[in-house]
Each structure stands twice: as C-alpha cells, then as structure tokens.
Amino acid sequence: MLQIAAIREHKDEFAKALTKRNIDAIPMLEEALLHDENRRSLQAQLDETLAESNKLSKQIGELYKSGKANEANALKETTGALKAKSKDLSDQLNEASSRLQDVLFTIPNIPQESVPAGNSDEDNEVVSEHGEKPSLDDNALPHWELAKKYDIIDFELGNKITGAGFPVYKDKGARLQRALINYFLDYNTRAGYKEMQVPHVVNEASGYGTGQLPDKEGQMYHIGNEDLYLIPTAEVPITNLYRGDLLEEKALPIAMTGYTPCFRREAGSYGSDVRGLNRLHQFDKVEILRIEHPDKSDGALDAMVVHVKGILEELKLPYRILRLCGGDLGFTSTLTYDFEVYSAAQEKWLEVSSVSNFKTFQANRLKLRYRNGDNGTELAHTLNGSALALPRILAAILENYQDENSIHIPEVLKPYCGFDKID
C-alpha cells in the first residue's frame, strides 16, 4: 500500500509512473487525497476539542478544591457537550480513515524506472537466455503422455478424488517430487535462508498484509464458515510472521525459505496452457523471502536472481530471464524478473519463478518497521521469489531428459531420488 504522505508529495510522478500499468491513476490518487484532507481536518478538530475538554476538566477540579461548586457544575455541562462532540468527531474520523484505506488498497505499487512499458506478457523484456535447447527425436512425448506411459502422475485419479487440476503423484513421480522439494530447501538453506514451516491457511489480515486481498480475492479458496483462506503461495504466511513488528536495524536482513502446497482457483484459465502440469489448482512450491534495509533491497533482488539461476544451472535446464512490463507486473511489485524453462516436447517456455521487490508496499500494509538509529522508525523493504515452483520444473525434466525407453534423472537430484532413471 502506498503511503499517503508520499502521494501528497509525488502525486503527479506516481500518476505518470502508473501509466506503465496502463491505468489512469489520477482519479484514485485524487480520491485518496480528498479522504486524507477530510481525515486530517477531522483529526485537527478532534485534537482541539479534546484539548479544550482537558483544559476545562482541570479548571473544574481547581474550582471544586476552591469551594466553588456552582461554577464547577456549570462548566461540567460544557465538558459534557465537548465529550459528545468528541465522540461524534471520533466516529467521523474512523469512517474517513476507513474510506482512505479502502482507496489506498485499490492503488497498485509504483513500477521502477527500469520496468518497460507494455500491455501483456508479450511485451516483457528478455534479459538473458541460458543453456542449449535439447533436440528430441520425433517420438518425444509431452509430460502428460510420459506420466501415463510410466504411471507416475495420474490426472484422472486426481479428478476422481477432487476435480481437475489436482493430480496424484505416484511411485517414482512422487519420489521425484519430494526430491525436488528437499533439493530446493537444501540449496536455499546453504545460501543462508532460514527454513520455516508455516500454516497452509491464513486469516483475512494476512491476506491484506501481503496484498492478496482485496486484489486476488477471486483467485483464493475461501473457507467461509471459518473466514480463512487457503494460501496461494508461502509468501503470505511467511511474510506475515513479521506483521506488526518493530525490528532492530542490526536484525536486517532476514532471509527465509519454506515449502508449502499452494492453492489457486485460476478462474478463467483455458486452452493448451492448462494441459497436464502447466496450470494446476494445487501445486508445490519452495519460496525464498527477504526483509531488507531500504538501502540494500535493490542489491538483494539482484542476488536473488543469481540464486535462482544457480538452481536452474545445476538442473541443467535451458532457461531465460524476463523483466516484466508494466502491464504484466503484479499488483504489489515494483520490479519483477520471471524465469522460464524451455519445454522441448511442447516447444514452449514455461514460467517457473517470479522474483520481486515490493519495497515498502507490503511493509506499509503489514506495519513492518525497523528502528533506524536516532531517526526513529522506518518501513522495511520486502522481497520474495520462487525457488522454485515444482509443476513446470517437473514437466521440463520429464520432457527434456527423456529418451525412447526412459526418463533420466538430473545428476544433482540422483542422491535425493535414490534412482537414476524412470523406466
């Protein structure tokens, strides 16, 4: 959430920057400023009324001490009216503050200057491309056919139990899935990320804290009778571990990693992009997150990009890095790099990670601050990235490592799997 003080100071700059997202933000920004002006006016009136009431209360006490009860009683009528006025002003102030917050919740984060303009993923900027695309023979199969051939993933059985988009991993497919999770976690913890195990359901405050609510409310599974949400990513519960906290500056940076299943309704998804593991309602993901000093978050984002590159290079999967354009940038992000691996059997790129800097946008919602020496407190910066999302990584391994009679296991995963190939 943007800070209202920053909007007051930089309204025109913010409006210009938000055109990269293909939105006219002027009406939202001006509405926020209107509610803010009303809120500040009511706050001033309330402060003045409370000050006058406190002043009179002291006078009443002194009059009683001096034996002037009649004068004191006369003033009490005035303080009673002031208390009623204070109550009315307080109610109006709460309403104005709520309206301001509702507007601020609708304004997305400000894209960084390096974010390219554009309308959709077709306008994302390819930063770099790595590795050689494998050449498969004419009989190569897409992963959903390989899953059936080797009986390692059962989409129909998942549909029977729950519905489409909830696959069942079987035998070596389940073991390969578990191997990837353990490998990702070990890779992350070796790099200094502290592993966390967190709940897979969150309350409404957590959803608002990281920006999934109200922006992505329709994409989250809601448990109505409990008013809880199934998590769409580990980012939500792990970041919310620090909601409302005041950190010491020396505690920064904080680096965390965690594995969770993720649940997304993916409303409106259709076509070839949803075949097999390409798009699921439930999938596994290992996340990395950082809470950073504002002066160091840009460098931290670059380091996270290098970290994810290292995983893909160890897996020996061809990949590319994209800088997302304004039209494809997530609501809470100021700058995002996407990683895509090449699926040889499908002859297409599959997104497997997004690495983002949110700067103070989430921290303002979370009320996550750090103590900045003698200068009081400041909002921290938050960052997160997938390291990695499993379904499309698994799809790429199955497709790129296949031959006519088997699927070979990447060398780095063999100790985790306990087998060399699937046949």
Q: Could you tell me where in the chain the CATH 3.30.930.10 domains are found? A: 121-422
Q: What is the mean pLDDT of the chain?
A: 94
266 annotated as ligand-binding: yes
Protein fold of 121-422:
BirA Bifunctional Protein; domain 2 (3.30.930)
pLDDT at 40: 97
Task: Give residue 71's pLDDT band: very low, low, confident or very high (50, 70, 90).
Answer: confident
Is 369 labelled as part of a ligand binding site?
no
CATH 1.10.287.40 maps onto the chain at 4-104
Q: Which residue has the higher pLDDT, 72 or 94?
A: 94
- The verdict on whether residue 352 carries a ligand-binding annotation is yes
Q: Which pLDDT band holds residue 269 (cuts at 50, 70, 90)?
A: low
**Percentage of residues of the chain with pLDDT beyond 70:** 98
- Three-state SS for the chain is CCCHHHHHHHHHHHHHHHHHHCCCCHHHHHHHHHHHHHHHHHHHHHHHHHHHHHHHHHHHHHHHHCCCHHHHHHHHHHHHHHHHHHHHHHHHHHHHHHHHHHHHCCCCCCCCCCCCCCCCHHHCEEEEEECCCCCCCCCCCCHHHHHHHCCCEEHHHHHHHCCCCCCEECCHHHHHHHHHHHHHHHHHHHCCCEECCCCCEEEHHHHHHHCCCCCCHHHCCEECCCCEEECCCCHHHHHHHHCCCEEEHHHCCEEEEEEEEEECCCCCCCCHHHCCCCCCCEEEEEEEEEEECHHHHHHHHHHHHHHHHHHHHHHCCCEEEEECCHHHCCCCCCEEEEEEEEECCCCEEEEEEEEEEEEHHHHHHHCCEEECHHHCEEECEEEEEEEEEHHHHHHHHHHHCECCCCEECCHHHHHHHCCCEEC
Q: Is 124 annotated as a binding residue?
A: no
Q: What is the mean pLDDT of residues 283-299?
A: 98
Flag whether 287 is marked binding: yes
Residues 308-323: pLDDT tens digits?
999 999 999 999 999 9
What is the pLDDT, as a whole number, of residue 81?
87
**pLDDT value at residue 308:** 98
Is 264 part of any known ligand binding site? yes
Higher pLDDT, 5 or 72: 5
CATH no. of 4-104? 1.10.287.40
Given pLDDT bands bounded at 50, 70 and 90, which one contains residue 64?
confident
Q: What is the pLDDT of residue 273?
A: 67
Structure-model confidence comparison of residues 327 and 373, the more confident one: 327
Looking at residue 14, what is its pLDDT? 97
Q: Is 265 annotated as a binding residue?
A: yes
Known binding residue 384? Answer is yes
Identify the pLDDT of residue 240: 98
pLDDT digits (tens, 9 = 90+) for 36-53: 999 999 999 999 999 988
State yes or no: 351 annotated in a binding site. Answer: yes
